[in-house]
Amino acid sequence: MKYIVSKRNKKILFYSSFKTIISIITSFYYNKRDFTFLTIILLFTSLNYWRKPNYGVRRNIDIFWSCFVMLYHLKKSFNLRFNSIRYYYIITFFFNIYLYFLGKITLKEIDGVNYHCKFHTIGNLSNIILYKYLE
């Protein structure tokens, strides 16, 4: 079976997906059950895709669900109590989008993998702040 990335990079991205557990635990801790539920599903779609990353239904489901969850987070960020934190979240959201597309257009596969891992890290760290300050 032909994978979208090499076996080595497939493993890196598979394990990087586990960073989503940070968002799950934090949203549960701050009693944001909607985020907990959505992010648990996101973890499963991501792991399901990265265990065998090839073009197909699993990839489409993962991309769709990732976009849905990210947009849900962005929409909810407008309910933040402090403008400065709202602006921080929105800026990091769009910076993350930039990282994702930078990873897609890079010529070296390992650079794309690194950008995607940074995308996971920054997104989950931003979510910690979002969950803490949401009303």
Residue 130 has pLDDT above 80, yes or no: yes
pLDDT, average across residues 78-105: 92
Pairwise CA distance, residues 86 & 103, whole Å: 26
Residue 1's pLDDT is 65
Do residues 25 and 127 make contact, with C-beta atoms less than 8 angstroms apart?
Answer: no
Residue 42's pLDDT is 98
Predicted TM-score of the model (pTM): 0.92
The tokens for 98 are: 């930039």
Query: Which runs of E-coded beta strand occur in the chain?
Result: none
Do residues 125 and 89 make contact, with C-beta atoms less than 8 angstroms apart?
Answer: no
Confidence label for 4 from pLDDT (cuts 50, 70 and 90): confident
Q: What are the C-alpha distances in Å from 125 to residues 3, 49, 62, 66, 109?
A: 29, 22, 20, 16, 25
pLDDT, average across residues 5-31: 96
